[in-house]
C-alpha cells in the first residue's frame, strides 16, 4: 500500500471500511467510553511512525459516508460491491471494524521519490481467529504463513486492482494479516505487521503524534505527522519562495468532522518559529487569492464544491502555527467519487 504523496495517507485511512450503515441505540456515555477504549487498544499496536491517522469507523459509516453517497444509489451499490470483492479475496470482513489506526512511514527508495508504508490496526467486535480462518479459505491456496514472536502472519497474494472503501483505486500485490488480540488485527505489508507485533510487546510508540491526532476528541478522522525536509523536497512544493516557507514546517495535524449537513476540515502546520508561521500564512493567503483563477476553469459540479471550500476557507496564525479551516456540504463531495 504505497503512495507518493503525503495526502494519500488520508485516503488510506479509509482502508478496509464499508458502506453498510446501521443505527446505534447505545447511550452517548456508553458510546464515548467504547470509542475511547477501542482507540486506546488500536493505537497500542502502532509501531514507530512518521504519521498517525485515527479513524472513528462507526461515525464514518453512520454519519459521514451516508450523507455523501446516500443520494447516489449507483455509486453506493458499486462501492458495496468492491467491499464484497475485498472480503471474498481475503476473508476479512471490514463491516466488523469500529476503529482503525494507521501508522505511516516515509521511505525514500531513490532520489525524488517518496513512498508511504502503512500498517492498519483494525479494532472491532469480530472473532479475529475466525476471520483469519476465512481468509485461508478465500485465498484458495494463494497465501503463506509466517511465525513471528509467537504470532502467526498470513500473507495473501492479491495482485489485483481493488478500491479503498470501494471508491479509490489501488494496486495490491500482497497483504499480510495477523491476529494481535481477540479484537484486533494488523493489516499491511509483512514488515509492517511484524512491526505492529513488536509494538504490542514493547509498549506504545508515537506519543507526540498520537497527541496531535487526538486533539479534537469529536473528529471522525484525526491526523498527526512529522514533516522532514526530505519529504518536502520530493513533493516539489513550488517556487523558491514557497519552498522556503514550506521548509519551515516541522509537523502537521488535522481533523475531519461532520455536522448534520456539512463535512469540515481542519489542518494546522507547526513551523520552527513565529516569524516562519507569519510568512507561511501570507503565502497561503496569496494562494487562496489565486485559487479563484483555477476554479474558473473547472467544470460543474466540482466547480461549485471548490468555490464553496474556497469561500469558507479561514486562515489563522497562532504563535508558530498556521491553521486552515473550511467546510462543504456533505452531498457535494459525491462529485469527487468516481
132, pLDDT greater than 80? no
Same domain, 19 and 36: yes
With respect to residue 3, please indicate whether it lies within any of the assigned structural domains: no
Are 185 and 122 in a shared domain? Answer: yes
Beta strand 221-226 with 249-258 is antiparallel
Domain boundary among 200, 222, 244: 222
Mean pLDDT of 250-278: 95
Q: How many domains does the chain have?
A: 2
Residue 1 placed within a domain: no
**In contact, 115 and 3? CB cutoff 8 Å:** yes
Per-residue confidence at 139, pLDDT binned at 50, 70, 90? confident
Q: Is residue 174 part of a domain?
A: yes
* Whether 206 and 266 share a structural domain: no
Residue 263 within any structural domain of the chain: yes
Highest mean pLDDT among 10-14, 74-78, 196-200, 285-289: 196-200
Q: How do residues 208-217 score in pLDDT, each as one tens digit?
A: 999 999 999 8
Has this prediction a pTM greater than 0.85? no
Position 35 confidence tier, pLDDT thresholds 50, 70, 90:
low
| Last residue of one domain, picked from the residues 222, 248, 264 | 222
Alpha carbon 253 to chain centroid, angstroms = 12
Q: What is the extent of the structural domain holding 115?
A: 8-222
Averaged over 36-61, what is the pLDDT?
A: 82
Same domain for 91 and 211, yes or no, is yes
Q: Are residues 237 and 199 in the same domain?
A: no
In a domain, 164, yes or no: yes
- Residue 40's pLDDT is 67
**Co-location of 178 and 50 in the same domain:** yes
| 35 and 156 belong to one structural domain | yes
Q: Is the pLDDT of residue 164 over 80?
A: no
How far apart are the C-alpha atoms of 264 and 200, rounded to whole Å? 33
Averaged pLDDT for residues 187-201? 92
Tell me the average pLDDT across 8-33: 35
Residue 232 falls within a domain, yes or no? Answer: yes
Is 133 domain-assigned?
A: yes
pLDDT at 287: 87
Q: What's the mean pLDDT in 47-52? A: 95
Dihedral of the alpha carbons of 43, 48, 50, 51, in degrees to the nearest 10: -10
Q: Among 195, 222, 249, which residue terminates a domain?
A: 222
Residues 324 and 181 in one domain: no
pLDDT, mean over the chain: 80
107 and 31 share a domain?
Answer: yes
Which tops the pLDDT comparison, 78 or 2?
78
Q: Are residues 61 and 196 in the same domain?
A: yes
Q: Whose CA is closest to 117, among 174, 191, 185, 179?
A: 191
Distance CA(253)–CA(210), nearest Å, equals: 10
**Domain membership flag for residue 2:** no
| Model pLDDT, residue 83 | 75
pLDDT score at 168: 54
Model pLDDT for residues 167-188, shown as the tens digit of each residue: 556 677 888 989 999 889 898 8
> In a 10 Å sphere around its CB, with 0-12 CB exposed, 13-18 middle and 19+ buried, how is residue 136 labelled?
middle
Amino acid at each position: 500500500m504505497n503512495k507518493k504523496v503525503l495526502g494519500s495517507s488520508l485516503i488510506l485511512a479509509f482502508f478496509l471500511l464499508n458502506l453498510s450503515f446501521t443505527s446505534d441505540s447505545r447511550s452517548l456515555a456508553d458510546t464515548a467510553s467504547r470509542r475511547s477504549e477501542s482507540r486506546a487498544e488500536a493505537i497500542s499496536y502502532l509501531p514507530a511512525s512518521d504519521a498517525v491517522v485515527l479513524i472513528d469507523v462507526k461515525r464514518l459509516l453512520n454519519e459521514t459516508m451516508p450523507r455523501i453517497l446516500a443520494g447516489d444509489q449507483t455509486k453506493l451499490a458499486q462501492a458495496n460491491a468492491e467491499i464484497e470483492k475485498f472480503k471474498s479475496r481475503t476473508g476479512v470482513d471490514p463491516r466488523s471494524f469500529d476503529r482503525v489506526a494507521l501508522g505511516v512511514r516515509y521511505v525514500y527508495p531513490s532520489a525524488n521519490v517518496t513512498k508511504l508504508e502503512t500498517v492498519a490496526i483494525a479494532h472491532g467486535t469480530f472473532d479475529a481467529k475466525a476471520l483469519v480462518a476465512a481468509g485461508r479459505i478465500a485465498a484458495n491456496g494463494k497465501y503463506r504463513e509466517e511465525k513471528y514472536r509467537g504470532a502467526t502472519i498470513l500473507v495473501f497474494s492479491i495482485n489485483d486492482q481493488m478500491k479503498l472503501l470501494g471508491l479509490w483505486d489501488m494496486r495490491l500485490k500482497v497483504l499480510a494479516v495477523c491476529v494481535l488480540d481477540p479484537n484486533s488485527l494488523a493489516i499491511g505489508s509483512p514488515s509492517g505487521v511484524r512491526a505492529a507485533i513488536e509494538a504490542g510487546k514493547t509498549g506504545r510508540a508515537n506519543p507526540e503524534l498520537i497527541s496531535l491526532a487526538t486533539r479534537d476528541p469529536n473528529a471522525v478522522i484525526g491526523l498527526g505527522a512529522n514533516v522532514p525536509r526530505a519529504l518536502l523536497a520530493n513533493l516539489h512544493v513550488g517556487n523558491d519562495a514557497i519552498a522556503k516557507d514550506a521548509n519551515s514546517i516541522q509537523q502537521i495535524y488535522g481533523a475531519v468532522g461532520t455536522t448534520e449537513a456539512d463535512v469540515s476540515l481542519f489542518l494546522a502546520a507547526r513551523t520552527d518559529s513565529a516569524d516562519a508561521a507569519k510568512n507561511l500564512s501570507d503565502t497561503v493567503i496569496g494562494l487562496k487569492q489565486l485559487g479563484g483563477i483555477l476554479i474558473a476553469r473547472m467544470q460543474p459540479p466540482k466547480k461549485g464544491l471548490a468555490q464553496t471550500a474556497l469561500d469558507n476557507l479561514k486562515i489563522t496564525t497562532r504563535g508558530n502555527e498556521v491553521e486552515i479551516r473550511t467546510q462543504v456540504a456533505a452531498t457535494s463531495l459525491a462529485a469527487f467519487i468516481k
